[in-house]
A and B are shown apart, each in its own frame.
Chain A
Amino acid sequence: MSAVVVNLVLAGTYMDSIALMRLSREVAGLSGVEDAAVMTGTPANREILRDAGLLAPEGETAKPGDLILAVRAKNESASHAALVEAERLLSAPRQTADDGTSGWVPRTLRGAVMALPTANLALISVPGDFAAAEARKAIERGLNVMVFSDNVPVEAEISLKHLAAEHGVLMMGPDCGTAIIAGTPIGFANEVRRGDVGIIGASGTGIQEVSCLVHRAGGGISHAIGTGGRDLSTDVGGLTTLAAMAALERDPATKRIVLISKPPAPEVVARVVEEIQRSRKPYVVHFLGSVAGDLPANAQHADTLAHAAALAVGQDRIDVPPANAVSSDGQMDGQMDGQRVVGLYSGGTLCGEAQAILMGAGHVVASNAPIPGAGSDDAAAAIRLLDLGADEFTRNRPHPMIDPEPRETMLRQMLGDPTVRVVLLDVLLGYGAHPDPAGGIAQAIDASTGRRPVVIASVTGTEEDPQIHSEQVSALTRAGVRVAPSNAVAAEWTLGILNSA
Chain B
Amino acid sequence: MTIQAQSYGPIAGELINSGERLTVIAKFERSLYLECETGGLICLGHLVIGDGPLNILAEFNDRFSVGADIEIDLSIATPWAPTSVNLSGGRAKAALARLDAGMVVVPPRGLAVKDETPVSQRTDPAREALVDWYRSDRETLPPEVPIRALLGLGEGLTPAGDDLLVGWMLGLQTTGQKLVAERLYQRIQSLAPDLTNAISQAHLAAGARGLASAALHDLLLALSGVGGVTDALKRIDRIGHSSGWDALAGLRDVLKT
Task: Give min CB distance, A131 to chain B, whole Å.
Answer: 10
Chain A 20-60 residues near chain B, CB threshold 8 A: 20-21, 38-40, 42-45, 47-48, 51-52
Is A500 part of the binding interface, using a Cβ–Cβ cutoff of 8 Å? no
A103 touches B237 (CB 8 A): no
- Bitwise, A199-212 to B at CB < 8 A (1) or not (0) is 00000000000000
B240, A45: Cβ atoms under 8 Å?
A: no
Q: Which residues of B contact A14 (CB under 8 A)?
A: 26, 28, 33, 157, 197, 199
Cβ < 8 Å to A, chain B residues 101-129: 107, 109, 118-119, 122
Contacts of A52 in B (CB 8 A): 118
Q: Contact: A45 with B154, CB < 8 Å?
A: yes
Inter-chain CA distance A105–B65, complex, in Å, is 13
A127 is an interface residue with CB less than 8 A from chain B: yes
Beta-carbon contact of B157 and A17 below 8 Å:
yes
- Check B139 for interface membership: any CB of A closer than 8 A: no
A42 in contact with B151 (CB, 8 Å): yes
Task: Point out the residues of chain A lying under 8 angstroms from B195, CB to CB.
Answer: 42-44, 64
A105 touches B159 (CB 8 A): no
B241, CB-defined interface residue at 8 Å? yes
A166 contacts chain B at the CB level, 8 A cutoff:
no
* Residue pair B157, A64 in contact (C-beta under 8 Å): no
Q: A40-B152, A42-B197, A64-B195 are in contact. Are A18 and B240 (CB under 8 A)?
A: yes
Number of residues from B at the complex interface, CB < 8 A: 42
Q: From residue A170, how far is it (CB to closest CB) to chain B in Å?
A: 24
- Tell me if A15 counts as interface (CB < 8 A to partner B): yes
Contact B63 A39 (CB under 8 A): no
Known contacts A14-B33, A17-B240; is-contact A127 B152 (Cβ 8 Å) = no
Tell me which residues across on chain A come within 8 A of B28, comparing CB atoms: 14-16
The answer to whether B156 touches A65, judged by C-beta atoms less than 8 angstroms apart, is: no
- Tell me the B125-163 residues at the A interface (CB within 8 Å): 149-157, 159, 161
Q: Is B153 a contact partner of A45 (Cβ separation < 8 A)?
A: yes
Chain B contact residues, CB within 8 Å of chain A:
25-26, 28-29, 33, 46-48, 59-63, 107, 109, 118-119, 122, 149-157, 159, 161, 194-199, 235, 237-238, 240-243
Q: What are 6 A-B contacts defined by CB distance under 8 Å?
A: A15-B28, A45-B153, A48-B118, A48-B119, A64-B195, A104-B63
**B-binding residues in A (CB < 8 A):** 12, 14-18, 20-21, 38-40, 42-45, 47-48, 51-52, 64-65, 93, 97, 103-108, 110-111, 126-127, 129-130, 392, 395-396
